[in-house]
Structure 1
Amino acid sequence: MSLGLQRGVCFADKHLHHQALRRIEQADREEAMPLEDGLGMRQLAKALFAVVVARPAKAVTEGRMRSSGPRTPSLQTGRWTTVEAIAMVDIAHWTCPTCKVIVTTPFCARCGEEPIAPRTLTLRGLVEKVIHALTSIDARAARSARTLLRHPGELTLAWTSGVRKPYVAPFQLFLIANVLFFALQSATGENVFSSSLDSHLHHQDWSELAQSFLSQRLVATNMTVEQYEPLFNSAVVMNAKSLILLMTLPFALLLPLAFLREHRPFMTHVVFSLHLYTFLLLLFCAALLLAKLSALLGLGGLDAPMVDNVLSMAILMMCALYIYLAIGPVYGAMGARRTVKAIVLALAAAAIVLGYRFALFFITLFAS
């Protein structure tokens, strides 16, 4: 149903438009006839004209239609009720409960507070708020993920430039990817970060060092490997989920060294790092699905060296490509230096992932 904003009318029923004009003319001839709710005929007529004819079209373009009270006419009748019209008039002057100042806009300019309408305190109002919050987050998350994957660097550039309303915050987007990754890891039974004790002892580059430290830990706790292994395996999964943010910090510290001449604020490096590792988590999600498919086909999962090596190389190449495309718009990198920096930073990101798994072993070993 067209709302007719181009014609300056917020609904299709033109009859109400002319009716409002007639009521204003009638009110000019009559002296403010009092209504049951205490609003004069002249004031109400002008309020109706301002609310249902002129104000909505302008408010839509300025993004000012968001308030806790109803702002749109009924889709069945195309008309505003008297209570809704009065609510729109009353919103012109209200006192912010937080700042204790008189406000003449739908939102407080200091803190963003909005006036409380009676409908907000009802069950229906609560349900509407919850539905709006959920759908708003979903829409922004989908838009953020799409921009992250299709246009590397633009999401970082938009966030650091102040364009933040259409997108999810970098840390929040990272957490969403984190939840998705660990949900898939649990569903597929494959492990990327939370490697088992047996994997640390026999299938990692630091296996000899791990065996040495494990022996010392078993002596200190007076336990056997069979007794300690279940404790370690359950603890490492929890630590991998809660400490995964640690990967982003070393990379954020490397970026100022790689782009010394650009003099970007440190927050730019932090946001870039969060977006990069969000992208890597999404790549790991795809790798988990491919590893599970490979296992179903009889080729083995991530425990098979061939599958692990192929997926690792693919992730490394995709990481380098993402960094190459992203550092252009964010840091203005160009030419051969852009290629070299992309390769070096991709190798650094991979090293940080391996270092994170290595750190998880020692954190879990001495904390469990």
Structure 2
Amino acid sequence: MRHHTTIDSTVENKTACISCGSILTGNYCSVCGEKRFELHDLALKHYAEESIEGITHFDNKFFKSVKLLITKPGLLALDFCRGKRVPFMRPFALFFVCNIFYFLLIGQNNLFSTPLTSFYNFYPFTEFHSKEIIDQVAPTNEQFKVVATIFNQKMGIESKAFLVAFIPLLAIGGVLVYRRRYLSEHLIFSTYLFAFLLLFYTFIGSCITNPYYYFFVKGNYDSTYDLVSALTAWVIFGVYYFFAARRFYKASVLRSIIGSVVTMLLFLVCLYGYRILLFFKIIHSIGV
């Protein structure tokens, strides 16, 4: 008669893994990593201990990963590709957490959004007939103010909804400039790179940009500040990319500079394209 594996039978015979049935030689299965089951695992005290351990384990990994991400550009990606993965967060997991922080702490004035006035007045947006489209939707000043309020709110929210698309776009720069055996290596590098970018703009936005707009310009758009802050950020990002590429790709100084310039230009083009696509999406929903 065939016997099915159950919790009770596993407790009686502790040599079998509850998940895959392999023979256990220690507290953890060497095949699937499942922990040896004990009755005290169901105790309330053990449940509380595991819950606290799970939170602190996440905190430890996150802060260790962020510290390494900031202080040693490119090393997280290099370690991950070499197989050193246990001490730190995996690329997409770190990106996902950084994305959540960015979404929660940064409001409408974020890197990926642009107010309606910019689409009405500034190049390159006006090259896509954004001004004419806005005039059709809001022909009077009063209507423009109403539409601008709705548009800016939607832009602030929706601009952070599709950020994952920038990961493969950033990887294109690495593909064009550096040689690696696997495409996934470029994606891993760009994922960590984009996680740093989100952390950097989370700090700049929450500590500098948002207070500036709140206390000094009362929520109005300041094109001068936007230009200065953008140029400063690009310089910092370019320097960070240079050192990250030197470490990860083992690239020369010249090739690292070229990679930095190519990637920043590519990201800038994609950023404006992203904003323009969001403009058409949002203005269409308002116009309808």
Q: TM-score, normalised by structure 2?
A: 0.81
Retained in 2: the 8 A contact 1:93–1:104? no
Residue 193 of structure 2 aligns to a residue whose secondary structure is: helix
Aligned residues: CA RMSD:
2.9
**Residue of structure 2 equivalent to 1:53:** none
CA deviation string 1:78-135 (max 9, x = no partner): xxxxxxxxxxxx8994211221233222211221111222222122222211111111
Q: Structure 1 pair 308/237, CA: closer, same or farther in 2 (3 Å)?
A: closer
Aligned length in residues: 271
In structure 2, the residue corresponding to 1:94 is in which secondary structure?
coil
Q: Which residue of 2 aligns with 1:120?
A: 41
How far residue 141 of structure 1 moved from its aligned partner, in angstroms, is: 0.7
Over 3 Å counting, the alpha-carbon distance change for 1:118 and 1:307 in structure 2 is same
Could you tell me whether the CA contact under 8 Å between 1:291 and 1:300 is conserved in 2?
A: no
Instruction: Say whether 1:355 aligns with 2:273.
Output: yes
Rounded to whole Å, the distance in 2 between the matches of 1:91 and 1:182 is 49
Distance 1:297 1:238 in 2: 22
TM-superposed CA distance for 1:264, in Å, is 3.1
Which amino acid in 2 is paired with 1:282?
L
- Aligned residues of 2:173 and 2:259 also touching (Cα < 8 A): no
1:280 matched to 2:197: yes
Cα shift at 1:146:
0.6
Q: What one-letter code is carried by the residue in structure 2 that aligns with 1:343? A: V
Q: Give the number of the structure whose alpha-carbon radius of gyration is greater.
A: 1
- Counterpart CA distance in 2 for 1:338 and 1:226 is 46
Deviations 1:121-159 (A, max 9, x none): 122222211111111111111111111110001011011
Cα deviation for residue 226 of structure 1 reads: 6.5
Match of 2:102 in 1: 181
**What is the letter of the counterpart of residue 267 of structure 1?**
S
Q: Distance in 1 between matches of 2:225 and 2:283?
A: 28
Residues 91 and 115 in structure 1, CA contact (< 8 A), matched pair in contact too: no
Indicate the residue corresponding to 2:109 in structure 1: 190
Q: Kindly report which structure 2 residues correspond to 1:94-133, keeping only aligned pairs within 5 A, or say none.
A: 94-133=15-54
Partner of 1:313: 231
Partner of 1:34: none
Q: Paired residue for 1:147, among 65, 68, 72? A: 68
Which residue in the other structure is 2:5 paired with?
A: none
What is the aligned partner in structure 1 of residue 221 from structure 2?
Answer: 303
Contact 1:96 1:102 in 2 (8 A): yes
2:80 counterpart residue number: 159
Secondary structure, aligned partner of 2:234 = helix
Question: What is the distance in 2 between the residues matched to 1:120 and 1:318?
Answer: 49
CA separation of 1:234 and 1:242: change in aligned 2, threshold 3 A = same
1:301–1:308 Cα contact (<8 Å) kept: no
Query: Per the alignment, in what secondary structure is the counterpart of residue 242 of structure 1?
Result: coil
Deviation at 1:231, TM superposition (A): 5.0
Give, in whole Å, the separation in 2 of the partners of 1:351 and 1:300.
30
Task: Name the residue aligned to 2:157.
Answer: 238
Q: Deviations over 1:193-220 (max 9, x none)?
A: 23343443345630462234456778xx
Pick aligned residue for 2:183 from 236, 241, 266: 266
Measure how far apart 1:354 and its partner are. 2.6
State the Cα distance separating 1:312 from its structure 2 match: 0.8
User: What is the TM-score of this pair, normalised by structure 1?
Assistant: 0.65
Aligned runs of 1:79-98 on 2, under 5 Å?
A: 93-98=14-19
Match of 1:42 in 2: none
Greater relative contact order (Cα < 8 A, sep 6+): 2
